Structure 1
Amino acid sequence: MSVTEPEPDLRPVSAIRTVACIGAGVIGAGWAAYFLARGLRVRAWDPAPDAEETLRRVVDAAWPALTELGLAEGADRDALTMFPTAAEAVAGADFVQESAPEDLTLKRSLLAELADAAVAAGPDVVVASSTSGFPMTDMATTAAHPDRLVVGHPFNPPYLIPLVEVVGGERTAAWAASRAADFYRHIGKSVIEMERELPGFIANRLQEAIWREALHMVAAGEATPEEIDRSITDGPGLRWPVHGPCLTFHLAGGRGGMAHMLDHFGPSLKAPWTRLEAPELTRELRDDMVAGAEVSAGGRPMAELVAERDRAVIAVRRAVAAARQTTVQTTGQTTGQTAGQTAGETAR
């Protein structure tokens, strides 16, 4: 969703060489690591007193995985500068990625400030928000320049997961939304340009459906957190890197495809297989989830779990890319860059 505004004289997205990262928490730091790995310079700001130390620690921890995936020419983890204010970080930037805490009041005031700074920085500087679920229309209510504001929602960790959902608000300029999407594609992201705003966007709504059902099952004593995790990692999750839920059910229909699947299994949609309303998050349910997560973690420290996840994501992405390449060679078809590839993988 966006509005038609006079389009400025846009530079090519390849001219975007400096990104302002506003917010240096888990998502913001992950974005910074990715931008640096793509050969960009990063100007960062975060109000936390130890923000720079935290940011550089995340970048250092992510760098081996990024190196394994393939660094862009000129990639330099030290091409990172912290600034005392958000406005100073945006000055001189070609693109802005906001990753502040998920607080609507905070987002409104910060995005208004960033939009002003973006206008001062240049005629084609866009501000993208990493929000997990707020529509830009709701976040841009106090902005004097809402045309520059767009959602650019990544997935954790942004330096490994390629998907970014892009959608503008009611007053976002069409060129701004398109520019953000084009920039993300240019640096190797898999982009979904949404046609309309939707709280939670696409992937988070699908994740939330599974999460709510998982909470119900734990609350009712029907399954443990460990069993729920294993039901996905050793079950349908193995198909999802290659075939999403829709294509999976298309294959389930055999020769008749999705049409046969819906005709044959359609009545099961009326079966009591899901409870989408969230259960009450009682103290007991909270404690059960915490205890279950600790069992799944097996007492391993967070750093070890993060490293394990990163290795697994790299292995899955490479395996999927190899499988798709084999299919292309066998069928003689060309599919272009796969959704899981980064610019570095494509270059190899």
Structure 2
Amino acid sequence: MNQTTQSTKTFAVIGTGVIGNGWIARFLANGHDVVAFDPAEGAEEKTRRAVELAWPSLEEIGLAEGATIDRLRFVPTIEEAVAQADLIQENVPEREELKKSVLASIDQHSKPNAIIGSSTSGIMPSTLQEGLLHPERLVVAHPFNPVYILPLVELVGGKATSQETINAAKEVYAAIQMKPLVIRKEIEGHLADRLMEALWREALHMVNDGVATTEEVDAAIIYGAGLRWAQMGPFLTFHLAGGEQGMRHMLQQFGPALKQPWTKLVAPELTDELKERVIEGCESHAGDASIAELESKRNEFLVRVLDLVEDYWPETKSIAKRGE
């Protein structure tokens, strides 16, 4: 069911790849105006198609009052895109010098009180702040794909980021139905990606060493750890593993096993053989389904999972999903 948008804001999106388009869809679904810029040929057409594909999932989640695809506007320059924006979301490729150049232009041409959020998945905000006129208003705001469904956004301040910016960013992202997670200390890869990378490295070793296929690794997560993590995450999951005494007993009984070298930690070399094994495994597992078909199934699944998360953790309802 629709809800009333508290106050309409203008969001600028710089860079309209997969993540940028996800942001655009989320901003629009929450009833806001979006001004986008991307110099790539055909960028606007690709964005409008991506938003159209995302819209059915957003309708199922629930659109804010006044939400419409028609509130998206593409402009020919960064200067025009950011001029009136309340929040600018930067999503250009993960190349440090490119990001710093784009952010410097955003910083120069945006309103003094505008928040600048970078979607970077690995670069630390203090690095991105170098050379900015107003570094105190830049914060890493790292989302997860698909941005228009998954509510987590990691907020990471740099050395120059003001607490006012962190507080304001947290409020803005929560207002578009996200779950802002303020990272206490900046670190390469932030929080969630570092956890996922650890699992990814170990998964590559399993395939490289012939322990499991890509499909078998996926099955181990889908039907085991993944189901539990979707509800509780690793710490509460292990807390239950300790029985009535919880984590205290779990650490006493299973803590010594941490000293055993079960995991590799360092990633295996991506040889041509390993690459082909991973690629062929994924293509075989996907079967005849296209990427678009897999994305559609993923979106439908995630919307239903969010319903379950909210049923079991009702305190997240106002953040993770729009009104009933």
Could you state the TM-score of these two structures normalised by the residue count of structure 1?
0.89
Following superposition, the deviation at residue 139 of structure 1 comes to 1.5
Relative to structure 1, the CA distance from residue 179 to residue 340 in structure 2 (aligned partners, 3 Å threshold; closer, same or farther) is: closer
Partner of 2:23: 31
Relative to structure 1, the CA distance from residue 338 to residue 275 in structure 2 (aligned partners, 3 Å threshold; closer, same or farther) is: farther
Q: Is the 8 A contact 2:51 2:69 kept in 1?
A: yes
| Distance of 2:162 and 2:134 partners within structure 1 | 10
Gaps of 5+ in 1: 1-12, 326-335
Relative to structure 1, the CA distance from residue 33 to residue 236 in structure 2 (aligned partners, 3 Å threshold; closer, same or farther) is: same
Partner of 1:117: 109
Partner of 1:158: 147
Q: Is the 8 A contact 2:8 2:33 kept in 1?
A: no
| Distance of 1:148 and 1:169 partners within structure 2 | 10
| Distance of 1:182 and 1:222 partners within structure 2 | 46
| Distance of 1:171 and 1:21 partners within structure 2 | 23
Partner of 1:311: 300
Following superposition, the deviation at residue 236 of structure 1 comes to 0.8
Q: 1:104 aligns with which of 92, 96, 101?
A: 96
Correspondences of 1:121-136 after superposition (within 5 Å): 121=111, 123-136=112-125
Q: Are 1:247 and 2:236 an aligned pair? A: yes
Q: Are 1:292 and 2:271 an aligned pair? A: no
Which residue identity does 1:57 align to in structure 2? Answer: R
Partner of 1:52: 44
Q: Is the 8 A contact 1:226 1:293 kept in 2?
A: yes
Q: Is the 8 A contact 1:126 1:149 kept in 2?
A: yes
Following superposition, the deviation at residue 175 of structure 1 comes to 1.0
Following superposition, the deviation at residue 14 of structure 1 comes to 5.0
Following superposition, the deviation at residue 298 of structure 1 comes to 1.1
Over aligned residues, Cα RMSD in angstroms? 1.4
Which residue identity does 1:137 align to in structure 2? Answer: S
Q: Are 1:195 and 2:174 an aligned pair? A: no
Q: Helix, strand or coil for the counterpart of 1:78?
A: helix
Partner of 1:227: 216
Relative to structure 1, the CA distance from residue 339 to residue 313 in structure 2 (aligned partners, 3 Å threshold; closer, same or farther) is: farther
| Distance of 2:8 and 2:108 partners within structure 1 | 19
Following superposition, the deviation at residue 105 of structure 1 comes to 1.0
Correspondences of 1:255-334 after superposition (within 5 Å): 255-325=244-314
Report sequence identity in percent.
Answer: 48
Partner of 1:18: 10
| Distance of 1:99 and 1:14 partners within structure 2 | 26
Relative to structure 1, the CA distance from residue 245 to residue 339 in structure 2 (aligned partners, 3 Å threshold; closer, same or farther) is: farther
* Corresponding pairs, count: 320
Instruction: Name whichever of 313-322 and 129-138 sits farther off.
Output: 313-322
| Distance of 2:237 and 2:68 partners within structure 1 | 40
Q: Is the 8 A contact 2:174 2:319 kept in 1?
A: no
Following superposition, the deviation at residue 114 of structure 1 comes to 0.8
Q: Is the 8 A contact 1:162 1:339 kept in 2?
A: no
Relative to structure 1, the CA distance from residue 235 to residue 339 in structure 2 (aligned partners, 3 Å threshold; closer, same or farther) is: farther
Q: Helix, strand or coil for the counterpart of 1:304?
A: helix
Following superposition, the deviation at residue 341 of structure 1 comes to 2.1
Q: Are 1:40 and 2:4 an aligned pair? A: no
Q: Is the 8 A contact 2:8 2:31 kept in 1?
A: no
Following superposition, the deviation at residue 17 of structure 1 comes to 1.0
Following superposition, the deviation at residue 144 of structure 1 comes to 2.1
Q: Is the 8 A contact 1:321 1:340 kept in 2?
A: no
Partner of 1:333: none
Q: Helix, strand or coil for the counterpart of 2:141?
A: strand
Q: Helix, strand or coil for the counterpart of 1:39?
A: coil
Gaps of 5+ in 2: none
Q: 1:78 aligns with which of 61, 70, 79?
A: 70
Q: Helix, strand or coil for the counterpart of 1:241?
A: helix
